[in-house]
Amino acid sequence: ARASAASAPITPGALADGTAIPLLANLGNPAGAAEAVALGAEGVGLFRTEFLFLSSGSAPTIDQQKESYTALLSAFPGKKVVVRVLDAGADKPLPFLNDAHEENPALGLRGIRALRASEDILREQLTALAEADAATRATPEGPADLWVMAPMVATVEETSYFTALARDYGIRTAGVMVEVPSSALLADRVLAHADFASIGTNDLTQYTMAADRLLGSVASFQDPWHPAVLRLIREVGDAGRLHGKPVGICGEAAADPLLAVVLVGLGATSLSMAPTALADVRASLLQFSLDDARRVAEAALAADDAASARDAAREAAAAPI
């Protein structure tokens, strides 16, 4: 029985009513691609590019980057691959990019802010991505569907800056991560300037709760079930529906099988997670229709705190439909 289960084809992510919810992988290195595919990832929802930059004292060359991006794209022919440009800050400082002496690194020159201050690095990364895309277009397997997004976007202006620059380099699908409350609150304006949004629930929770995600003494605040976080996610989901644009989730929250249902109920159109979480989330989504998911989300949104939101969602999920 085990052998036949292992060899059964893995179905794409979907709700009980057939609504497709693509299930994608978070990857930090192209080396993880094969495992992700084996576990049924329908593409990549977050490719973190920091690994290319963190290991040396200088920025990687365009050719070094192109090699990694080509390896990644080649593993997903015909599939969506969302690459995030460098997310460096004083918490993961780079000698050629950051001043490591900020008192509050999470609130400092990080993400798109740091890239703008060293725009040559961003331009080189976009060049390497466009070249990798072009290189895989010529392969017999065909190209992946490359999407590129910026981290830590806090303003509409940063959104239009990034998407315009990415398009200048031939990137066809350019979006932003929504992981700062300001961009969640203005999601309808942000999405007017971006092709898609991807919600980073790790940072969105940190900034909503004003609790450093790396600090053990405030770890109890780092809970994406908090209704304040869920309400911000709903803003982004509503904006996505308004503009007819995709809203993905790529923070840890997407890997929680019940929270995944809530996120879909709030308007998420795809979920990206560590590949090992895909099977449980896939099984969970199959138990709920979109109407169910919305009802479960409403129950969580109405709660006072994270623990009661989780309980309310559990209760709503168990209730007869």
Q: Per CB under 6 A, which region of 142-150, 196-204, 282-290, 294-302 contacts ligand PEP? A: 196-204
Q: Contact between 250 and ligand PEP (CB under 6 A)?
A: yes
Shortest Cβ distance from residue 84 to Mg ion (Å)?
Answer: 9
Q: Contact between 252 and Mg ion (CB under 5 A)?
A: no
Is 250 known to be catalytic?
Answer: yes
Residues in contact with ligand PEP, shown as a per-residue x/- string from 272 to 311 under the rule CB under 6 A: ----------------------------------------
Question: What is the spatial distance between Cα 203 and Cα 105, in angstroms, rounded to a whole number?
Answer: 13
Shortest Cβ distance from residue 179 to ligand PEP (Å)?
Answer: 5
Amino acid making up residue 143: P
The residue behind tokens 């009513």 is 17
Instruction: Tell whether 98 is in a known binding site.
Output: no
Selected binder of Mg ion within 200, 237, 246, 275 (CB under 5 A): 200
Q: Contact between 113 and ligand PEP (CB under 6 A)?
A: no
Instruction: Tell whether 104 is in a known binding site.
Output: no
Alpha helices in 150-305 (DSSP H): 156-168, 181-185, 187-190, 201-209, 227-243, 257-265, 278-285, 290-301
Nearer to ligand PEP, 50 or 280 (CB): 50
Nearer to ligand PEP, 87 or 195 (CB): 87
Q: Which of residues 202-221 bind Mg ion (CB under 5 A)?
A: 203
CA distance to 16, 261, 277, per residue, from 289 (Å): 5, 9, 21
Question: What is the spatial distance between Cα 32 and Cα 29, in angstroms, rounded to a whole number?
Answer: 6
Instruction: Tell whether 202 is in a known binding site.
Output: yes
Question: What is the spatial distance between Cα 27 and Cα 73, in angstroms, rounded to a whole number?
Answer: 12
Q: Per CB under 6 A, which region of 5-13, 90-98, 201-209, 305-313 contacts ligand PEP? A: 201-209
Shortest Cβ distance from residue 314 to Mg ion (Å)?
Answer: 27
Residues in contact with Mg ion, shown as a per-residue x/- string from 175 to 194 under the rule CB under 5 A: ----x---------------
Question: What's the CA dihedral at 86, 87, 90, 93 to 10 degrees?
Answer: -40
Three-state DSSP state, 145: strand
Q: Which is catalytic among the residues 132, 250, 264, 312?
A: 250
Name 72's Cβ contacts closer than 8 Å, sequence gap at least 6. Answer: 27, 30, 33, 44, 47, 81, 83, 132, 144
The residues pairing with 177 across neighbouring beta strands, listed in sequence order, are 198
CB contact at 8 A, 121 and 59: yes
Q: Contact between 179 and ligand PEP (CB under 6 A)?
A: yes
Three-state DSSP state, 182: helix
Shortest Cβ distance from residue 111 to ligand PEP (Å)?
Answer: 9
Nearer to Mg ion, 210 or 283 (CB): 210
> Could you tell me whether strands 43-48 and 23-27 are parallel, antiparallel, or unpaired per DSSP bridges?
parallel
- Residues identified as active-site: 250
| Binding-site residue ranges | 48, 84, 179, 202-203, 213
